[in-house]
Chain A
Amino acid sequence: MTEPLLSVENLCVSFPTNRGRINVVDGVSFDLGRERLGIVGESGSGKSMTGRAILRLIRPPGRVSADRLRFEGQDLLSLPERKMRNIRGARISMVMQDPRYSLNPVMTVGRQIAEALRTHERLGRAATRARVRDMLEAVQINDPDKVARMYPHEVSGGMGQRVMIAMMLIPRPQLLIADEPTSALDVSVQAQVLKLIDDLVRDHGMGLILISHDLELVARYCDRILVMNAGRVVERCAAGELDQATHPYTRGLLSAVPKMNETRAELPVLDRSQWEGT
């Protein structure tokens, strides 16, 4: 078998607390090919930290260690910072949660997208503009020339997130990490944005890591799912087999969500007593 796109083994991220260092990600391992992997968990489960650790975005005093963290045959942990910068954005890129905080408010949308491209490729001005235009069209923005001249406050949340996706995909990365890409958006826009990510990932044959707290959504858009709790992977399964999940935490999460045709008088709750020390 050929080497997977991304290979993670025994990944740990730790932060100091007044009770010593605590592992917020505690021995996570997975391999990713050109497929869609979902990482699900509640706040504090370490799912976002896993995504950030792959891009080496954990700042001191946070510390990352792993037995293996390889991407396209390169060891990400030992790579010098300058080489790492060539990977971020160009080879692996990340879509963040809220476009309102992740876009530069004093730069037009077009310039921000062009900046992402220019950082990684040398292109003439006309060629750059054409690529930006094509990319905006690819994320289904109707009037790309007009939108390119707009500032982030002039676009809606859904459009802002599409701009973010355009910016992240324009250097043609091999792996996209999407950290709660739609939780700041309305339900009707959510579906459009996820469909868009899905289409682009398929068309370009990229790998996708979709990080979310929403089990059902991840099941709909991914091939495989990892469920995380307290820094550990508690369950791995194919997306279609989520309803046969065996771990009590996964089952608890699944049943705690109200259903559209809800008839239960009370929702089952997770027993937190086991990990709530204080």
Chain B
Amino acid sequence: MTTAISLTDLDISYDGTRVVEGVTFDVAVGESFALVGESGSGKSTVLKAIAGLAPEWTGGMKVMGQERGHGPNKRLAHVCQMVFQDPYGSLHPRKTVDAVLTEPLVIHRIGDRDARVEEALRQVGLDRRFRFRYPHQLSGGQRQRVAIARALMLEPKIMLLDEPTSALDVSVQAEILNLLKRLRAEQGLTFLMVSHDLPVVGFMCDRIAVMTKGQIVEIAPADALHDGAFTNPYSRALYAASGGA
């Protein structure tokens, strides 16, 4: 089986209001796949459903060949981890970097914690002196590195990235994008990334799905961003608005 994530006819609702309709796509192992669209298009909701944060869904969802249930799933945490948009909001303000990174290991009863935390910090390019700092002592880019390190603690196969760089400055964004790309190559990760920034997606991803109003209107190779070879009128409009020729 070489499919990392397989969604078939997925509908997702919040409190009975359907926000995502009939989403179907497969992401191969090792692939980097992007969901793009404007705010409210439902792109983040798809990620949340896979991560188990939006349990009100119907349809088919397989992660690494396994049918995904609706409830929280501890085993899934080893396979699939999420990085959120806002590094200022996604780290506990009263926990040190060390505590944040150790927590998944404690929950999953994994030993050798000291060495694993050191290794994770090294992987994301953070110096050891950051280990016992609090989030407010870190810059935005450093916080996002911690969030990525936390996602890597359980050695997942799939990373769900929800706008991982949109809260960061462009020069910091370049560092984080390079980091993610390097990690993917080193560890053979599969990326499912949500973004509204088409050039970022072009840099990071192999294929893109354009979403609007809760539906996927087009799935195209990332090369389409080079020449604007989109067939759907909405995708073309989005491409033009993003400064594509």
Q: Interface residues, chain A, CB within 8 Å of chain B?
A: 42-43, 157, 186-188, 190-191, 213-216, 252-253, 256-262, 264-270, 272
Q: Mark B146-186, 1 if CB is under 8 A from A, else 0.
A: 00000000000000000000000111111101100100000
Q: Can you offer 8 A-B residue contacts whose CB atoms are under 8 A?
A: A188-B237, A190-B241, A258-B200, A261-B226, A264-B203, A267-B177, A267-B203, A269-B175
Q: Are B170 and A257 in contact (CB under 8 A)?
A: yes
A-B contact count (CB 8 A): 78
Residue from A215, A258, A272 within 8 A of B177 (CB atoms): A258
Q: Are A270 and B38 in contact (CB under 8 A)?
A: no
Residue from A188, A214, A265, A269 within 8 A of B238 (CB atoms): A188
Q: Secondary structure at chain B's binding surface: helix, strand, loop or mixed?
A: helix
Q: Are A42 and B225 in contact (CB under 8 A)?
A: no
Q: Secondary structure at chain A's binding surface: helix, strand, loop or mixed?
A: loop
Q: B244 contacts the other chain (Cβ, under 8 Å)?
A: yes
Q: Mark B191-224, 1 if CB is under 8 A from A, else 0.
A: 0000011111011000000000000000000000
Q: Are A187 and B199 in contact (CB under 8 A)?
A: no
Given contacts A186-B38, A187-B242, A260-B198, contact A42 B171 (CB under 8 A): yes
The docked-state distance in angstroms from the alpha carbon of A62 to that of B173 is 30
Q: Are A252 and B243 in contact (CB under 8 A)?
A: no
The docked-state distance in angstroms from the alpha carbon of A270 to that of B178 is 13
Given contacts A191-B241, A258-B202, A262-B202, contact A270 B196 (CB under 8 A): no
Interface size of B as a range: 20 to 34
CB distance from B188 to the nearest CB of A (A): 17
Q: Interface residues, chain B, CB within 8 Å of chain A?
A: 38-39, 140, 169-175, 177-178, 181, 196-200, 202-203, 225-227, 237-238, 241-245
The closest CB in chain A to the CB of B165 belongs to: A258
Q: Are A260 and B199 in contact (CB under 8 A)?
A: yes
Q: Are B171 and A256 in contact (CB under 8 A)?
A: yes
Most chain B beta-carbon neighbours within 10 Å: one of A190, A213, A262, A270: A262
Given contacts A186-B38, A269-B178, contact A261 B225 (CB under 8 A): yes
Most chain A beta-carbon neighbours within 10 Å: one of B172, B197, B202, B203: B203
Residue from A43, A213, A260 within 8 A of B244 (CB atoms): A260
Q: Are A187 and B178 in contact (CB under 8 A)?
A: no
Q: Are A258 and B199 in contact (CB under 8 A)?
A: yes
Query: Which residues of B sit under 8 angstroms from A215, Cβ to Cβ?
Result: 170
Given contacts A186-B39, A261-B226, contact A256 B174 (CB under 8 A): yes
Given contacts A42-B169, A186-B39, A252-B171, contact A267 B196 (CB under 8 A): no
Q: Are A267 and B174 in contact (CB under 8 A)?
A: yes
The closest CB in chain A to the CB of B166 belongs to: A183
Q: Are B243 and A213 in contact (CB under 8 A)?
A: no
